[in-house]
Amino acid sequence: MTGYAYSLTMDVRDYECDIQGIVNNGVYQNYLEHARHEYLKEIGLDFADLASRGINLVVIRAELDYKLPLTSGDRFEIGVNMVRESKARFAFYQDIVRSSDGKLVLKAKIMGTALNERGRPSIPQELEPLLNQ
């Protein structure tokens, strides 16, 4: 997948599908979150370390546009880009694309912030270089 800071390939597991034989809508949020966490790990951002210092990364809004369903056994890629949206907010722009035909399955914009030890929005120092590119 080109045009993304990070991409992750996954496969649909049988138990993620509903009675219609397609991936349940809520499962896509798990896929997106897993890709975001893997991206942050890849760039050296440690959730456990941040939490131990009282800094928590949180989702404050999720916008998902479903285009096509995935079915059991489908392989897919999740692309991730992270962008500063304001002084205290960032967004992950994510796409899910079916590997077999390159078709767009889902577009997402996940808004987040970091809450400091006082519970106030504050971007941690570790994220600043990523958001100022």
Burial 28-44 (b: 16+ CB within 10 A, else e): beebbeebbeebbeeee
Give residue 90's Cα distance to chain centre.
12
Give residue 47's Cα distance to chain centre.
14
CA distances from 106 to 49, 76, 95 (A): 31, 11, 6
- The single-letter code of the amino acid at 84 is R
Instruction: List CB contacts of 107: < 8 A, sequence separation 6 or more.
Output: 64, 65, 67, 94, 95
Selected catalytic residue, list 11, 18, 49, 65:
18
Phi/psi at 38 (nearest 5 deg)? -65, -40
65 is catalytic: no
Residues designated catalytic: 18
